[in-house]
Amino acid sequence: MAGLLGTEIALADRLPRHYLPLAFRLEPDPMTGKHKDMIVLNDKPWNIETPAHLLDDPVTPAEKMFIRNNGLIPDSIDAAGWTLTINGESVNAPKTYTLNDLKKRFKTYTYQLVLECAGNGRANYSPQTAGNQWGEGAVSCAEWTGVRLKDILADVGLKNDAVYIGYFGKDLHVSKDPTKPVISRGVPIQKAMEDETLIAWAMNGKDIPVTHGFPLRLVVGGWPASVSGKWLHTLSVRNKVHDGAKMTGKSYKVPVNPVEPGVDPPEDQFKIIESMPVKSVITFPKTGALIDPDKPLTLRGQAWAGDRAVKQMFVSYDFGATWLPCTLKAPRNRLAWQQWSTEVKLPRKGYYEIWARAVDDAGVSQPMVMPQWNPEGYCNNACHRIAVKGV
């Protein structure tokens, strides 16, 4: 154990039998329920990032799943009395369902779905933009269980002018003023009608954790995670683009036309972010690893591409001068991420950077350094890279 810690364990002879020192414990933090290595960006509201090396699981466990909250978790949650109301200008007549109604009246589906904060990678933009300075880990691919939204909407009955949905949750404004909205976003009706768009009550085979939206959440894979509303109680079917909180202004929008870094165009020159761009992450080894250059270096990670699939995956250890192909697994289902792996042989001892680059099924590749700059710091899908040292 001293070798793993890199230092002597003082009074090691007094360790109780079978006692595991705190440095080696992996239990979730008692306050957040998260792995001890998670990065807390702020705690009011909770915004917690997953380091890249903790994204190695095919299905992201709850303790390694990032948290992006715009408001506070509801003060009280009555799961037994929870209801979902479907209303709006474009429904024939509003309907309300209990949680039990949803579970009994509709067929249940389970999908692995990528949820990624639109601001993932914001810390790597130059010049720096405002907002949570996410690195690479505001992304997850958990397994969600619930009913298809399109089945509920079919039961309610829609008018021909339906173009958008908007969600409403029970999260609280950080001021705790109940009259102030927190976030109420949505997606076009075509996205809402996809098979994988769920009204979910379970994550990874258990009740959704409270921090992730218990007892009911909208889950829309492949688009910014902000459209997957937590603590869901109402869905409004609109005859226009939804205009709820964080749908107006420049929230979750990028410029229509390319802009010079540092330039902030007028609001009418922005568009809503829809499908997230192709991206990948290296999950093994952890950056900073010391390796034996005489042995093959095993590399692996995850790749995803919003509404698309990843078709090819490459790595480079010479700063992008050459690229080596990787083995790429098929997704478990549409909108799930894809695991990749390879082995490389480093030519000699020294410092190396391993870069990862995914290409989607439309032939679109990750940029090596930085994509088109935008003033809100969204959609940075530049190649992820780690540092290793051959010794």
Q: What is the pLDDT of residues 239-263, one digit of tens each?
A: 999 999 999 999 999 999 999 999 9
Q: Same domain for 244 and 289? A: no
**What is the model's pLDDT at position 16?**
59
**What is the model's pLDDT at position 29?**
66
Q: Same domain for 123 and 225? A: yes
The answer to whether 349 and 391 have CB atoms below 8 angstroms apart is yes
> Is the pLDDT score of 26 beyond 60?
no
Q: Same domain for 224 and 95? A: yes
* Residue for token pair 């218990």: 214
Q: Same domain for 180 and 283? A: no
- Residue 335 falls inside a structural domain: yes
pLDDT in tens, 119-155: 999 999 999 999 999 999 999 999 999 999 999 999 9
**What is the model's pLDDT at position 24?**
46
Strands 279-284 and 297-304: antiparallel
**CA dist., res. 156 & res. 133, Å (int):** 41
Q: Same domain for 204 and 303? A: no
DSSP result, 179-211: TS-----EEEHHHHTSTT-EEEEEETTEEPPGG
Boundary residue ending a domain (272, 306, 332) = 272
**CA dist., res. 190 & res. 169, Å (int):** 22
Separation of CA 106 from chain center: 27
Range of the domain at 255: 83-272
| pLDDT confidence band for 285 (50 / 70 / 90) | very high
**What is the model's pLDDT at position 34?**
79
For residue 215, cis peptide bond before it (omega within 30 degrees of 0)? yes
**What is the model's pLDDT at position 11?**
55
The answer to whether 136 and 151 have CB atoms below 8 angstroms apart is no
Boundary residue ending a domain (256, 272, 288) = 272
The answer to whether 69 and 171 have CB atoms below 8 angstroms apart is yes
| pLDDT confidence band for 21 (50 / 70 / 90) | low
**What is the model's pLDDT at position 44?**
86
Nearest of 342, 384, 325, 337 to residue 121 by alpha carbon: 384
| pLDDT confidence band for 4 (50 / 70 / 90) | very low
> Is the pLDDT score of 298 beyond 50?
yes
**What is the model's pLDDT at position 12?**
61
- Residue 45 falls inside a structural domain: no
**Who has greater pLDDT, 276 or 3?**
276
**What is the model's pLDDT at position 25?**
46
H, E, C per residue of 283-339: EECCCCEEECCCCCEEEEEEEEECCECEEEEEEECCCCCCCEECEECCCCCCCCCEE
**CA dist., res. 230 & res. 210, Å (int):** 9
Give the chain's mean pLDDT.
Answer: 93
pTM confidence score: 0.91
> Is the pLDDT score of 275 beyond 70?
yes
**What is the model's pLDDT at position 307?**
98
Q: Same domain for 312 and 233? A: no
CATH code of residue 301:
2.60.40.650
Q: Same domain for 137 and 237? A: yes
Give the type of residue at 344: V
Q: Same domain for 219 and 268? A: yes
Q: Same domain for 95 and 158? A: yes
pLDDT in tens, 61-77: 999 999 999 999 998 99
Separation of CA 82 from chain center: 26
**What is the model's pLDDT at position 184?**
98
Give the type of residue at 257: N
| pLDDT confidence band for 264 (50 / 70 / 90) | very high
The answer to whether 148 and 219 have CB atoms below 8 angstroms apart is no
**CA dist., res. 382 & res. 253, Å (int):** 18
| pLDDT confidence band for 315 (50 / 70 / 90) | very high
Q: Same domain for 166 and 304? A: no
Nearest of 96, 372, 379 to residue 259 by alpha carbon: 372
**What is the model's pLDDT at position 8?**
54
**What is the model's pLDDT at position 30?**
59
327 CB-contact burial (10 Å; exposed 0-12 / middle 13-18 / buried 19+): exposed
**CA dist., res. 260 & res. 258, Å (int):** 7
- Residue 75 falls inside a structural domain: no
- Residue 328 falls inside a structural domain: yes
**CA dist., res. 137 & res. 60, Å (int):** 12
Give the type of residue at 207: D
Determine the average pLDDT of the residues in 84-95: 97
For residue 285, cis peptide bond before it (omega within 30 degrees of 0)? yes
Please provide the distance, in angstroms rounded to a whole number, between the alpha carbons at the two ends of the chain: 22
**What is the model's pLDDT at position 204?**
98
- 156 backbone φψ class: left, alpha, beta (φ>0; ψ -120 to 50): alpha
- Residue 12 falls inside a structural domain: no
For residue 127, cis peptide bond before it (omega within 30 degrees of 0)? yes
Determine the average pLDDT of the residues in 15-25: 51
pLDDT in tens, 177-221: 989 999 999 999 999 999 999 999 999 999 999 999 999 999 999
